[in-house]
Structure 1
């Protein structure tokens, strides 16, 4: 691996490798990942470090434009001013909603250009996905209009107004008067974030509304209640993430993330993350201990932060959570939630150390705090119980490996139609990589995207179902992860599988007029809390859904990434329900009725209808 060149397996004959079946092509690359991760060039990490510096510098600039805030050399005297936290939230929301935060750059397989975000959301004709098109007036359609562009520009302006405003609102703190931003400057942004989400839920999710928008709403509270509400929100974020990791597959996430870390340079340590490298790449005891230890930290330490009245104990807890997020940050996790982790480090220091005396009993309006945060908790609980109905972001199921996912199989003719009829800025990752490294290296690196998915438990399910979805000729299809379809078509992707399900399939089919068999998609939902099942659906873009059923997590975690030919599936025993063409992220799904046409005969044979589900193999 050089400064610009990716690290590839040694003694690797690309021409012979390319002739092998897909799973045989994946096997040596999974073994290479276990030692070397994605093989990212050092220049890519430098890009992300420069971006982090830009994020911190931009936030400090906006804070220092506030009258009364001194120079950076005097930061110890003003870092706990209320406006510092307020502008940090607003700046981070703006940074994310521009597309520079989560989902940016090469480690999300976005190369040319490395950002989607504003390039798409300021361009009429690109694809948008409304939240409830059948329920909310004036939101139907999937094409971005000038109205959507105006709304997005308004959102950016609404974020910029308070960032450039003085702190002139007088409020009461525990130890005297404080100055905060005027609520009048916050109202437009508070309204526009959910309003634009009704027209395009992608932007709502990209703004990380479950965190920054909720914190923004707390700014309308009296100052004491604002701080306490922000503390509770932070604890809910940690607990929501920790609860989602109480499963069999979080150790897979840890082994994949740490083996990809640029700072974990010792190959012997990376091999120890797996049971028996290179033949058994399931997580080792070490990986499981790290995973469950991290989960315990996320449960226990925030509770100490919330309840502790001892300053020394609080200092230890703050230090623990700072180290926790520094560890995640240093691993450069795929998806790139780097700025979010920096913000979490700042938030735990600001709220629990800078405002340690502000304890729960100090709240002046506890009912108002409950009115804001109880619905957040309700969505977290509901999202874990019924994950098919909620975004994993709103459910705060962060980086737990429990995401809705999809795998798309496309004929060459379908690729040509997408290029011709869909307004976008870049093609799929392989097309972008080809322009940088040529055909052979691009093919290998594009397969590293498969490897990332295959090394997680749900990758076993996706590749195990692919032959069922695409039939005996599945090796002849161009296969791409749904994440990268969303990234190319919507301009943003960050693990949200509901952005590349039936709603996106329908939007592309409407533009491209796919023929039966041209596009086949495997859709795999998240695992509900307490269940061993993950629901799947097989969809033809022209004729609709032709099979649904479930897989067992216990079956997926017991296999190697390349050994899924015998993965049992459990088809539904009743006829498939109508095809879903919209999957709201802000609430329950709506189903539209659409009959399967006679062309569905081209699909694989229908599911068995035995009285009990029967495990079938491919």
Structure 2
């Protein structure tokens, strides 16, 4: 593309190895406003005649290879070869194996769709959890969010205990309770380690393994609870946007342009979900709520298993952000093993141990119920709200001149995604270099993270105020153009700052220990770094809320809320500053001027 091109049509789509072409570059890009830059990406790919995935199709093969290795490592190095795969010992080893591989960063969030480079493809958590001075995510307010040597030592012992449990001839209370106890001790100081270990799923299952006569029942109840809670979380008006977003981001999107257009009310002028999208989301919600009871009920258990396999295959092949392919494989295994190989039944003794019953009641009922009704108080994984379309999302808005201050943070790689250049190494391979193969360039990576990703996410009504909030910051700070600041999306940012993040903006909640730790390290002046935070909506609520924090003094400078129905009535990039002002309930930036 020439340096003065600013066209939105006729651009190269993504191919097997290449990303899509950027909508504009050079001087043409510099002339565009922030809103105009988002418009270049807002239809999935550069104003194309149908939404398309801007990522190379080869990513699906990257994840297929990664997942094959994940299974082969277990099969070749962890399972007991003297026993069948369905034997109790191998089933228990599989569970511990998944806790371990997630805890070191091999599974969820790893890979390109987790916004990681090839240098630290799988092991970003290891860098943070083993490095004193990195920022933590304390569970308890008031604790300093900086990692000390004791926490590093605790993590090392935790990994060692998981290895011991995984390779033990028998796995019971003596093997699983020590790592769980240590995880509980570390959680008040860094809850990210528990999140990275997927304690809301594998952790509960690990605890069930401590009970020799009811471990299978415990696993079955955990899996049913997860499916049911996840389905319930989609009962609000937000899930239909997830269906549209995931379908348009799929590597298979180019094969079904008519279907993708039909998911919108009137593509490309009316981008709201159509009746087809609403019907698809209703089916998905019903299926997820019903899959657990279907698996548990004897006459329908095979139907439930087939439904679960279809549900998780759908997620797997859509390559969603955060890279949870291994988790979907685990859920498919759980469906087959827990409800296909075995029938749902009470423990042989007919009674559940009080300790197991208590943990299951708290973890599968009480905590998720609170998290569904008051989602800002409970991390979304523990509230069983995956893929609901109702997340705790946030963006840092940092003045360009202040970006070097971010380098003071201890992270495995750069917080500016384009500097990691995750696929450019491929272009240097001789057989690709001879063919002039385009794999990735820093400009595309930069533009997608700053404009392409926000353009996709403002399709969700919760985040539509993002555009006018940024424009209001432009006015208040006197930023002359969109080049005067940088948007940094919370998931990849916190994945490097904390070591792991699965869309968990909960660590950026108001008053969180994160803000003083970030400021103590970076030393921002007032107005150099803002956090724009969107709170999730409770199951019975229909009001979206957001706030803006000036990181320099952790003061909330803007707060607003709006009925979801009014946000849904707008197009994704329609809301302007005047419309935003209608919903502002607190504005302290005026006082600064």
TM-score, with normalisation over the residues of structure 1?
Answer: 0.83
Closer/same/farther in 2, CA of residues 124 and 440 from structure 1, 3 Å limit: same
Alignment of 1:253 onto 2:242: yes
Hey, what's the Cα distance between the residues in 1 that align with 2:227 and 2:490? Answer: 28
**Alignment partner, residue 509 of structure 1:** 519
Hey, what's the Cα distance between the residues in 2 that align with 1:508 and 1:98? Answer: 24
Show CA shifts across 1:407-450 (max 9, x none).
Answer: 21111232111113545432222333499444432333322222
Q: How far off its partner does 1:362 sit?
A: 6.6
CA contact (8 A) 1:248 1:557 kept: no
Tell me which of 538, 557, 564 is aligned to 1:528. 538
Q: How far off its partner does 1:365 sit?
A: 2.2
**Alignment partner, residue 192 of structure 2:** 202
Alignment of 1:285 onto 2:297: no
Show CA shifts across 1:196-215 (max 9, x none).
Answer: 22221111111110111111
CA contact (8 A) 1:123 1:149 kept: yes
Hey, what's the Cα distance between the residues in 2 that align with 1:256 and 1:195? Answer: 39
SS at match of 1:546: strand
Hey, what's the Cα distance between the residues in 2 that align with 1:404 and 1:550? Answer: 14
Q: How far off its partner does 1:499 sit?
A: 2.5
CA contact (8 A) 1:97 1:203 kept: yes
Gaps of 5+ in 2: 1-13, 425-439
SS at match of 2:63: helix
Moved more, 84-93 or 360-369: 360-369
Show CA shifts across 1:308-341 (max 9, x none).
Answer: 233xx32122111111111111111111111111
Alignment of 1:162 onto 2:157: no
Moved more, 14-23 or 147-156: 14-23
Hey, what's the Cα distance between the residues in 2 that align with 1:244 and 1:236? Answer: 12
Closer/same/farther in 2, CA of residues 346 and 421 from structure 1, 3 Å limit: closer
**Alignment partner, residue 400 of structure 1:** 388
Alignment of 1:94 onto 2:100: yes
Gaps of 5+ in 1: 70-77, 135-139, 168-180, 577-599, 607-618
Hey, what's the Cα distance between the residues in 2 that align with 1:6 and 1:235? Answer: 39
SS at match of 2:531: strand
CA contact (8 A) 1:555 1:567 kept: no
**Alignment partner, residue 462 of structure 1:** 466
Show CA shifts across 1:100-135 (max 9, x none).
Answer: 22211221322253341112211222211222153x
**Alignment partner, residue 174 of structure 2:** 184
Hey, what's the Cα distance between the residues in 2 that align with 1:107 and 1:284? Answer: 27
Hey, what's the Cα distance between the residues in 2 that align with 1:404 and 1:217? Answer: 28
Hey, what's the Cα distance between the residues in 2 that align with 1:351 and 1:148? Answer: 36
Alignment of 1:336 onto 2:323: yes
Closer/same/farther in 2, CA of residues 520 and 471 from structure 1, 3 Å limit: farther
**Alignment partner, residue 550 of structure 2:** 540
**Alignment partner, residue 67 of structure 2:** 52
Closer/same/farther in 2, CA of residues 101 and 439 from structure 1, 3 Å limit: closer
Q: How far off its partner does 1:402 sit?
A: 0.9
Hey, what's the Cα distance between the residues in 1 that align with 2:349 and 2:54? Answer: 51
> What pairs up with 1:473-492 in 2 under 5 angstroms?
473=478, 475=482, 476-492=484-500
Closer/same/farther in 2, CA of residues 41 and 522 from structure 1, 3 Å limit: same
> What pairs up with 1:364-375 in 2 under 5 angstroms?
364-365=351-352, 367-375=354-362
Moved more, 415-424 or 526-535: 415-424
CA contact (8 A) 2:53 2:251 kept: no
Q: How far off its partner does 1:4 sit?
A: 3.1
CA contact (8 A) 1:457 1:557 kept: yes
SS at match of 1:522: strand
**Alignment partner, residue 569 of structure 2:** 558
Hey, what's the Cα distance between the residues in 2 that align with 1:434 and 1:93? Answer: 27
**Alignment partner, residue 384 of structure 1:** 372
SS at match of 2:58: helix
Alignment of 1:604 onto 2:593: no
Tell me which of 278, 296, 301 is aligned to 2:291. 301
Closer/same/farther in 2, CA of residues 424 and 142 from structure 1, 3 Å limit: farther
Tell me which of 429, 441, 451 is aligned to 2:455. 451
**Alignment partner, residue 20 of structure 2:** 7
Closer/same/farther in 2, CA of residues 364 and 439 from structure 1, 3 Å limit: closer
Closer/same/farther in 2, CA of residues 254 and 401 from structure 1, 3 Å limit: same
Alignment of 1:119 onto 2:119: no
Closer/same/farther in 2, CA of residues 360 and 247 from structure 1, 3 Å limit: farther
Hey, what's the Cα distance between the residues in 1 that align with 2:442 and 2:336? Answer: 48
Show CA shifts across 1:20-63 (max 9, x none).
Answer: 11121111312134845441123333222221111111222355
SS at match of 1:2: coil
Q: How far off its partner does 1:470 sit?
A: 5.3
Alignment of 1:409 onto 2:409: no
Hey, what's the Cα distance between the residues in 1 that align with 2:468 and 2:20? Answer: 28
CA contact (8 A) 1:470 1:517 kept: no
Show CA shifts across 1:326-363 (max 9, x none).
Answer: 11111111111111110000001111111116357973
Hey, what's the Cα distance between the residues in 1 that align with 2:154 and 2:395? Answer: 32
SS at match of 2:351: coil
Aligned-residue RMSD, C-alpha? 2.5
CA contact (8 A) 1:62 1:87 kept: no
**Alignment partner, residue 495 of structure 1:** 503
Alignment of 1:64 onto 2:50: no
**Alignment partner, residue 31 of structure 2:** 19
Q: How many residues align?
A: 548
TM-score, with normalisation over the residues of structure 2?
Answer: 0.86
